Amino acid sequence: MKDGTLTTQTYSGDETQEPAPAAGSVTALPALAGLRAETAETQAVPFRDFGISEAICSGLEAAGIFTTFPIQALTLPLALGGQDIIGQARTGTGKTLAFGIPLLQLIEEYGQDRVPQALVVVPTRELAIQVADDLRTAAVNLRVRVLTVYGGRAYEPQIDALAAGVDIVVGTPGRLLDLAERRHLDLSAVRALVLDEADKMLDLGFLPDVERIVRLTPEQRQTMLFSATMPGDVVTLARRHMRRPTNVRAEGHDEPAPAPRTEQHVFRAHQMDKIEVLARVLQARNRGLTMVFCQTKRAADQVATALASRGFAVATVHGDLGQGQRERALRAFRSGKVDVLTATEVAARGLDVEDVTHVVNYECPDDEKTYVHRIGRTGRAGRAGVAVTFVDWRDMHRWKLINDALGLGMAEPEETYSTSEHLYTELDIPREATGTLPRAMRDRAGLEAEAIEDIGETGRIRSPRRGSAARGSAARGSAARGSAARGSATRGSAARGSGGRGGRAQQSTSDAAAQTGGAAGRRRRRTRAGREIGPEVSPGVSPGRPAGDATGQPRGEGRAPGQTPAQTPAEAPEQAPRLRRRRRTSAQSGNQSEETRRKAS
């Protein structure tokens, strides 16, 4: 919009509409004249009709993709011609191939280079992985190098791949900017830039980083921006960095709307009964993969734990998990090893998993946009789906706002419990279903069957294993008890050593150190009939000044009873008989004094 011109093409998936003209804009494009049809059946146009290379078309056909969706039919003629595009379409309508095919065609025309020629910026790691996989699927017959760059993984493999040369880079703003500032990612040769899910990047606060990334690319480039909605900040971004963009909408309105083939159910459920209701929903007939969305990470973990205890094969995805754990859970979910995935908003945007038949909002979403994107995980690409939403009594005001914004006609959801008859009839749940999955139906391999990939995670402190932590704690506890015991023995020995009557004068420090041989280790007293046999110093103790008396000898170690610091172990046996005589005399005196007191009384 650098010259203030905006070209708008509006296309509805339900009926053919004339383009909506804008002031001073070009509305009729010959390339799109043949795309208008009178019936919905003719809206699917074969990819070969757009002049796409044979290698790309054959790759798509190998994956079972032959015809376009509305957003693709409108976007491809413009994108293949190098025009800037603003694409708007609801989730699940095929936006990835709408910009992915032009990128692959561009690489094929200009040839490969060591630096990236195309850059795709996405808001989440999961979406980056998915977009890169879709590009590789279409480029199966090409030698195009696609690199996925996002946080949570080690830098070294990404840096090595960039050094070896890549053609298309798909990544999240943070890691892209980090690699660019470290001069590992060179964006000076980028010919095409794609900003996918721009409104989500706005919600996550990534737009400042996106602006910095865009400024690192050449001025003369093709820019394609895709977004389900067009907030003011996204429009401002487009006006600042795009040249005469064409606004392509695959629907006749700007407001988000659920997929037309998604069957929606809303139940007013009690917080204490939700898990029972959910367990019965997951036993509905013809249920495939199911995603359960929660508001918080803790709730996602709690729901997953509760379902696992009831026999369901479940995994969870949220921001507190490491990247390796998140990718493992998604791999297990895609492969069918688990059929239930609990998640937070991290999986609500752009994530495309085949065979997702049911989506459950375990808690009421924040607004209508979140609701649309959540239930958009099912009913994708024209398929049918079921969306179930649980609304608590305290969430009724929020739900009414969502209902009014989308015109659902369900402002007052029916009060529902796990024993309610309408729950079983509306969702086709067998009457014999209970809160626990029968053992005969537990045929999934589970998350444990999915291998753990070592991706070299960064930025996280890995907690030690429970066994090693317990052993470490026990060792520390034993060391502490041993230190305390040695300290007590030291204080006791010091008290006995200083308690001798008429102790001799201390010798010099050097003499005491020389006589004891500089022993600093812990000494065990060995006696026989009250007489010490001799000193015993633990082996392997290096001589030196230990912590203890100023004499250099450890406090209370290596001394016999009554031995002063100046005495050597050799003098201790000579002192023993004298000490025994003193104790005996003291005891006799005490007994005599007791007899005298008894007689006097």
In this predicted model, what pLDDT tens digit does every residue of 8-55 receive, in sequence order?
Answer: 454 444 433 333 333 333 333 333 333 333 333 336 799 999 999 999
Of 123, 102, 74, which is closest to residue 191 (Cα–Cα)? 102
**Contact predicate 88/228, CB 8 Å:** yes
The pLDDT score that the predictor gives to residue 112 is 84
Give the whole-number percent of the chain exceeding pLDDT 90: 50
The pLDDT score that the predictor gives to residue 30 is 32
Q: Residue 465 burial (CB < 10 Å; 0-12/13-18/19+)?
A: exposed
DSSP state of 516: H
Q: Residue 27 burial (CB < 10 Å; 0-12/13-18/19+)?
A: middle
The pLDDT score that the predictor gives to residue 324 is 87
Domain boundaries, the chain: 7-249, 262-449
User: Which top CATH class is 262-449?
Assistant: alpha beta
Give the whole-number percent of the chain exceeding pLDDT 70: 66
The pLDDT score that the predictor gives to residue 327 is 87
The pLDDT score that the predictor gives to residue 385 is 92
Answer whether residue 562 shows pLDDT above 80.
no
The pLDDT score that the predictor gives to residue 481 is 52
- State the average pLDDT over residues 334-357: 84
63-85: per-residue pLDDT in tens? 999 999 888 999 999 999 999 99
d(CA 544, CA 513): 9
**Contact predicate 304/315, CB 8 Å:** yes
Of 190, 179, 59, 215, which is closest to residue 113 (Cα–Cα)? 190
The pLDDT score that the predictor gives to residue 44 is 79
The pLDDT score that the predictor gives to residue 503 is 42
Tell me the average pLDDT of the chain.
77
Q: Residue 79 burial (CB < 10 Å; 0-12/13-18/19+)?
A: buried
d(CA 30, CA 50): 13
- pTM, whole model, 2 decimals? 0.64
The pLDDT score that the predictor gives to residue 89 is 78
- Chain centroid to Cα 92, Å, comes to 23
**Tokens 């996204």 belong to which residue?**
234
pLDDT interval class at 257 (50, 70, 90): confident
**Contact predicate 218/57, CB 8 Å:** no
Q: Pick the more confident residue, 23 or 486.
A: 486
Task: Give percent helix, percent strand, percent coil of the chain, each to the nearest 5.
Answer: 40, 15, 45
Q: Which residues pair with 359 in a beta bridge?
A: 291, 387
Q: Which residues pair with 167 in a beta bridge?
A: none
- Chain centroid to Cα 419, Å, comes to 36
295-340: per-residue pLDDT in tens? 999 999 999 999 999 999 999 999 888 888 988 999 999 999 999 9
**Contact predicate 563/500, CB 8 Å:** yes
CATH 3.20.20.70: does it fit domain 7-249? no
Q: Pick the more confident residue, 217 or 259.
A: 217
Radius of gyration of the chain measured on its C-alpha atoms: 39
Same fold, 7-249 and 262-449: yes
